[in-house]
Amino acid sequence: MADSGVTEGPDKKEEIDRAKSEGKELTKEEKQRLRKEKKQQKKNKEKKDDKASQESEKEKKPLSSPPPASQPPPQSTTQKAPSAVPAPAPVSVPASEAPVPADKPAKSKAELKAERRARQEAERASKQGKKGETGQQAATSKQKAPPNELQPVVKRLPEHIQVDNPDVLKKLAKKLERQQIPLRMDYGYKVSLFSHLHQYSRKAPLTQQVSIPSTVIHPAVVRLGLQYSQGIVTGSNARSVALLHAFKQVIRDYTTPPNEELSRDLVNKLKPYISFLNQCRPLSASMGNAIKYIKKEISNIPSQCKEEEAKSKLLNCIECYINEKIILAAKAIAKSAIEKISDGDVILIYGCSSLVNHILCEAFEKSRKFRVIVVDSRPRLEGREALRRLVQKGISCTYVLISAVSYVLPEVSKVFLGAHALLANGYVMSRVGTSQIALVAKAFNVPVLVCCETYKFCERVQTDSFVSNELDDPDDLIVTRKGKTHLKDWQEVPSLGLLNLVYDVTPPDFVDLVITDLGLGMIPCTSVPVVLRVKNVDQ
Amino acid sequence: CGHGKDVNLSQKGQIIGLSLSAQPYFDSTPCFISTMPGPYKETDLTERVEAFLSDLKRGGSGTGPLRGSAETARETTALLRRITAQARWSSAGDLMEIIRKEGRRMIAAQPSETTVGNMVRRVLKIIREEYARSRGSSEEADQQESLHKLLTSGGLSEENFRQHFVALKANVIEVINELLTELEGTTDNISMQALEHIHSNEVIMTIGRSRTVEAFLKDAARKRKFHVIVAECAPFCQGHEMATSLSKDGIETTVITDAAIFAVMSRVNKVIIGTQTVLANGGLRAVNGTHTLALAAKHHSTPLIVCAPMFKLSPQFPNEEDTFHKFVSPHEVLPFTEGEILSKVNAHCPVFDYVPPELITLFISNIGGHAPSYIYRLMSELYHPEDHEL
């Protein structure tokens, strides 16, 4: 079987190249052939004399093994990587390993895989030889289990914080090429402390490089990607909801190809979309959790389920998720938070957090008398949006920039902050400037309350704002005052760099209280890992 | 009000020996008319004073000084020297009165520009010293107000300044010239100390634009390689100018937004800032955002160094709430393009921040480095306690 595959190879290869250049999606057979050829190359390179005996058996396996072989990797990845972002990466890594022999870590993984498969073949061979020995089967299943148990310890780093590693970049380029998604180039001089992060320009969105009409990426996803990269959809809740709506559209338009199972194929269809969105703008923690949930739901669909039924079930799940985790959670948090707002309060908020705005509007409707100070910062100036929403409701507001916060804090009674994610070591990851406000509030002895839904709780840990962050377009810092733009030609000056950070982390000793949902009400910052553990046990 | 009296002065200048009543420039002692020609010098002087006052009023609109503090100090001192040389006075007391009067007008023109008041006080102190030296009494006895002297002699200064000394004017002008040379050299004196404080491969953070700090860093960059992070200091964004100027000299510079100050502080080795005024308790009145910077530095135990020449030291305390803060048009913060919400929202744009002395590690001035707890001593050397309230 394998020999016939080899002889047909060159013709098929031309077809595949043609299909690629036309931008059409590779058919299932073409993809399978590519995979097979790569596996053949790998095998011919690695297994020489020792495993010559097993090669004959393996040659029978390729056709039957791709479907089962793709099974253990998805299972192992769900156990392996807690955050959803690396989920696309590890599955594609084994397949793309072969063409890059110089990758040292890849080779070791490939070797591990090969050894594992060799062990499996050996076990299967011995099992066939000794029929009726169920003990062997137990042994094989047990042998499958230990490698999977060890894997949670080996954590794969997400690609977007390894930009300074050329191997990782090469791997990413290969993966994107396979998924037919253009690679986005970094822009501008990067400050040396942040050379491990991407820095993109807003003027060069990824969608310019995508051919129109794109048959690889669903148009709803293309539109979403553009909205992300241009900053039209911002804020973690808004981004998650937009993502889920786009995926709902994808599911509605999805039809299972013949000889495929919906549970597996749909997940594979979503992977390029996720890569594309990641390229447009790095995924947020809330989006990551949402994607994990969707993938889990999809893979849990039983195979005998009919397509229409499965699709409606999935759409229902997504609706439920949005309802429970975002809308109802906001209501629950608002109920708890209103207890903390008393008459005559002066409340300080920073930037535009949908949750905090919701709380303040609810409190105002319940006739609490308070006034709000909105603190804003360049270059995003999101506070103006919050200002508009509050003023529309009729709340009396004051507006200052973040450099004036020490002038305004002596008259403030409480600080309400929103969060992008709550990390497992108690740190709060939020818009850049939040930690500063918490610091100054602490110096003036003003209580700081953070409001965050549980779906944003994250298993990552972080102690500073450098290792994992997002760099925004540096040209945003340029401003023209009185007709003079000092930084206009910053690119030409070699020793000048502009830094536009998006997130920062606030240490837990600056935060007095976290208000969250799921019946927890108010918890200290350090209880986040407890909540995560309880949530995982429940699910 | 002074203008009317000046006109009278010019008229009287042609009359010899007339003693006039109820004129602050003239009292019971006979008036000797100096050999200077009559009305033209006086009007010239008043013109200059008026020009200076209107300059002060215009320049302090908060969008960044059109002139730096050093220039203001120099111009004030030059003007005071001119007043000393050209105004009518016979004794030290008269001169002090004249200068105090002009000083009050200048301070009223721009209250936030404290260097004007500081220079006036310096000149007053110079006059006192010169008078004491001319009288021959020991300087130390006059300067130190020992408890014994306070109790036994009572107010000793009141009656003393009526004597006339011929050489007083020349002496005073000479010392004012020395003061002017000192003022011209302050930036260089401070920059000369740069290498003592900056080692190689450091990351230094600063905020806004200070000419003193700029000269300081450029001087250190001639011999050492280091990295500077500049916080842009919205809404005036003077940090941009500072960054371009530093990077043109080849210093590795990064511009960050004010919101990222705490985020990057963990990688900063030193914070070096300039200030608008050094207050009497060792605190600062600096550009807005400096308090946040100082708190972040304290949290990370990063030393905070303030480069301030001595003419910025002011005998004010920070408790005078109504005079401490200065505000500029809120359209810098919330522009008029925002439309409907403007009328329903209060927007504030303060220019200055107060930084308490506990957050400051070191002051570097043209006479060396000091701790904030030493500032009160320096003040007693520069200004006489009676001049604190002009």
DSSP assignment string, B10-51: HHHTTS-S---SSBTTB-SSPPPPPSS-SHHHHHHHHHHHHH
DSSP H or E stretch at residue A263: helix A262-280
- Give the closest of B234, B252, B348 to A398, CB-based: B348
Mean pLDDT of chain A: 78
Interface of A with B in 434-463 (CB under 8 A): 435-436, 439-440, 443
How many angstroms separate the CA of residue A266 from the nearest CA in chain B?
Answer: 41
**Of A139 and A502, more confident:** A502
Residue pair A371/A395 in contact (Cβ under 8 Å)? The answer is yes
Q: Which residues pair with A422 in a beta bridge?
A: A428, A457
Whether B244 and A496 lie within 8 Å, measured CB to CB:
yes
Q: In this model, does residue A17 exceed pLDDT 70?
A: no
> What confidence tier does A502 reach under pLDDT thresholds 50, 70, 90?
very high
- Give the closest of B235, B247, B346 to A398, CB-based: B346
Interface of B with A in 64-103 (CB under 8 A): none
How many angstroms separate the CA of residue B205 from the nearest CA in chain A?
Answer: 14
Query: What's the token pair of residue A138?
Result: 């137990």
* pLDDT of res. A70: 42
A440: chain B residues, CB-CB within 8 Å: 291-292, 295
Q: What is the DSSP string of A405-465?
A: HHHHGGG--EEEEE-SEE-TTS-EEEETTHHHHHHHHHHTT--EEEE--GGGB-S---SSS
* pLDDT of res. B150: 60
Interface test with B, best of A401, A417, A430, A490 (most B CBs within 10 A): A401
What residue in A sits closest to B208 (Cα-Cα)?
Answer: A403
> What confidence tier does A119 reach under pLDDT thresholds 50, 70, 90?
confident
Whether B234 and A466 lie within 8 Å, measured CB to CB:
no
User: B214 CB near a chain A CB, below 8 Å?
Assistant: no
The single residue listed with the structure tokens 């497992």 is A424
Whether B258 and A377 lie within 8 Å, measured CB to CB:
yes
pLDDT (tens digit per residue) in A189-215: 888 888 888 888 887 777 777 776 667
Residue pair B354/B284 in contact (Cβ under 8 Å)? The answer is yes
- Give the closest of B264, B295, B338 to A384, CB-based: B338
Helix/strand/coil for A519: coil
* pLDDT of res. B89: 83
Whether B234 and A396 lie within 8 Å, measured CB to CB:
no
What residue in A sits closest to B334 (Cα-Cα)?
Answer: A399
Give, in order, the Cα–Cα distances in Å from A84 to each of B33, B123, B273. 92, 71, 44
pLDDT by residue, tens only, chain B of 390 residues: 334 444 344 444 444 444 444 344 444 444 444 444 555 566 788 888 888 888 888 875 444 445 678 888 998 999 999 888 888 888 888 888 889 998 999 888 888 888 999 999 999 999 888 888 887 765 555 555 566 666 666 555 555 677 777 888 888 899 999 999 999 999 899 999 999 999 999 999 999 999 999 999 999 999 999 999 999 988 888 999 999 999 999 999 999 999 999 999 999 999 999 999 999 999 999 999 999 999 999 999 999 999 999 999 999 888 766 678 888 888 888 888 877 888 889 999 999 989 999 999 999 998 899 999 999 889 888 898 888 887
How many angstroms separate the CA of residue B293 from the nearest CA in chain A?
Answer: 9
Residue pair B149/B156 in contact (Cβ under 8 Å)? The answer is yes
**Of A48 and A505, more confident:** A505
A378: chain B residues, CB-CB within 8 Å: 232, 234-235, 257-259
Q: What are residue A318's phi and psi, to 5 degrees? A: -65, -40
Helices (H) and strands (E) in chain A, counts: 20, 11
Interface of B with A in 244-263 (CB under 8 A): 244, 247-248, 250-263
How many angstroms separate the CA of residue A332 from the nearest CA in chain B?
Answer: 30
* pLDDT of res. B265: 94
User: B63 CB near a chain A CB, below 8 Å?
Assistant: yes
Q: In this model, does residue A300 exceed pLDDT 60?
A: yes
A406: chain B residues, CB-CB within 8 Å: 288, 291-292, 353-354
Q: In this model, does residue A438 exceed pLDDT 90?
A: yes
Our CA angle for A23, A26, A32, nearest 5°, is: 155
How many angstroms separate the CA of residue A378 from the nearest CA in chain B?
Answer: 7
Q: In this model, does residue A490 exceed pLDDT 80?
A: yes
* pLDDT of res. A164: 81
Q: In this model, does residue A264 exceed pLDDT 70?
A: yes
B341: chain A residues, CB-CB within 8 Å: 387-388, 391
* pLDDT of res. B158: 53
- CA–CA gap between residue A242 and residue A233 (Å, rounded): 8
| Strands B284-287 vs B252-256: parallel, antiparallel or unpaired | unpaired
Q: What are residue B166's phi and psi, to 5 degrees? A: -65, -40
Q: What are residue B109's phi and psi, to 5 degrees? A: -65, -35
Whether A406 and B291 lie within 8 Å, measured CB to CB:
yes
Q: In this model, does residue A44 exceed pLDDT 90?
A: no
pLDDT (tens digit per residue) in A68-97: 444 444 444 444 334 434 334 334 443 343
User: A493 CB near a chain B CB, below 8 Å?
Assistant: yes
* pLDDT of res. B62: 46
Whether A486 and B289 lie within 8 Å, measured CB to CB:
no
Whether B244 and A504 lie within 8 Å, measured CB to CB:
no
Whether B243 and A396 lie within 8 Å, measured CB to CB:
no
Interface of B with A in 354-383 (CB under 8 A): 354
- Give the closest of B234, B260, B353 to A499, CB-based: B260
- CA–CA gap between residue A197 and residue A157 (Å, rounded): 13
How many angstroms separate the CA of residue A397 from the nearest CA in chain B?
Answer: 5
Whether A440 and B291 lie within 8 Å, measured CB to CB:
yes
| Strands A448-451 vs A513-516: parallel, antiparallel or unpaired | parallel
How many angstroms separate the CA of residue A471 from the nearest CA in chain B?
Answer: 12
Whether A377 and B234 lie within 8 Å, measured CB to CB:
yes
* pLDDT of res. B14: 42
How many angstroms separate the CA of residue B48 from the nearest CA in chain A?
Answer: 29
* pLDDT of res. B28: 45
Interface test with A, best of B255, B256, B288, B302 (most A CBs within 10 A): B255
Q: What are residue B360's phi and psi, to 5 degrees? A: -100, 140
This complex has an ipTM of 0.81
Whether A481 and B252 lie within 8 Å, measured CB to CB:
no
- Specify the range with the lowest mean pLDDT, choosing from A340-344, A350-354, B339-343, B360-364: B339-343
User: B241 CB near a chain A CB, below 8 Å?
Assistant: yes
Whether B348 and A387 lie within 8 Å, measured CB to CB:
no
The single residue listed with the structure tokens 């946040």 is B292
- CA–CA gap between residue B191 and residue B220 (Å, rounded): 8
**Of B42 and A279, more confident:** A279
Query: How long a stretch of residues is chain A?
Result: 539
* pLDDT of res. B257: 93
Strand spans (E) along chain B: 203-207, 227-231, 252-256, 270-273, 277-278, 284-287, 304-307, 345-347, 352-355, 362-365, 368-370
**Of A534 and A327, more confident:** A327
Whether B292 and A439 lie within 8 Å, measured CB to CB:
yes
Helix/strand/coil for A379: coil
> What confidence tier does A103 reach under pLDDT thresholds 50, 70, 90?
very low
A486: chain B residues, CB-CB within 8 Å: 237, 240-241, 243-244
Count CB neighbours of A486 within 10 A: 21
DSSP H or E stretch at residue B324: helix B321-324
How many angstroms separate the CA of residue A344 from the nearest CA in chain B?
Answer: 17
Q: In this model, does residue A261 exceed pLDDT 50?
A: yes
For range A91-104, the mean pLDDT: 41
Interface of A with B in 174-233 (CB under 8 A): 191, 193
* pLDDT of res. B71: 86
User: A467 CB near a chain B CB, below 8 Å?
Assistant: no
- CA–CA gap between residue A527 and residue A514 (Å, rounded): 9
What is residue B340's DSSP assignment? G
What angle separates helix A104-129 from helix A166-179, to the nearest 10 degrees? Answer: 60
Query: What's the token pair of residue A1?
Result: 């079987």
Q: How far out from the chain centre does Cα A442 lie?
A: 33
* pLDDT of res. A154: 55
User: A306 CB near a chain B CB, below 8 Å?
Assistant: no
Percent of chain A residues topping a pLDDT of 70: 76
A436: chain B residues, CB-CB within 8 Å: 259, 261-263, 292, 296
* pLDDT of res. B306: 95
B347: chain A residues, CB-CB within 8 Å: 398-400
For range A500-524, the mean pLDDT: 90
Q: In this model, does residue A324 exceed pLDDT 80?
A: yes
What angle separates helix A262-280 from helix A88-96, to the nearest 10 degrees? Answer: 100
Whether A397 and B345 lie within 8 Å, measured CB to CB:
yes
Residue pair B383/B125 in contact (Cβ under 8 Å)? The answer is yes
Interface of A with B in 393-412 (CB under 8 A): 396-408
Give, in order, the Cα–Cα distances in Å from A470 to each of A224, A273, B7. 19, 20, 69
* pLDDT of res. A133: 46
* pLDDT of res. B243: 93
Give, in order, the Cα–Cα distances in Å from A159 to each of A74, A89, A113, A166, A171. 18, 8, 22, 11, 9
Interface of B with A in 123-182 (CB under 8 A): none
pLDDT (tens digit per residue) in A151-202: 455 566 777 778 788 888 888 888 887 777 777 778 878 888 888 888 888 8
Residue pair A418/B241 in contact (Cβ under 8 Å)? The answer is no
Establish, for the pair of chains A and B, how many residue pairs have beta carbons separated by less than 8 Å: 160
- CA–CA gap between residue A34 and residue A14 (Å, rounded): 12
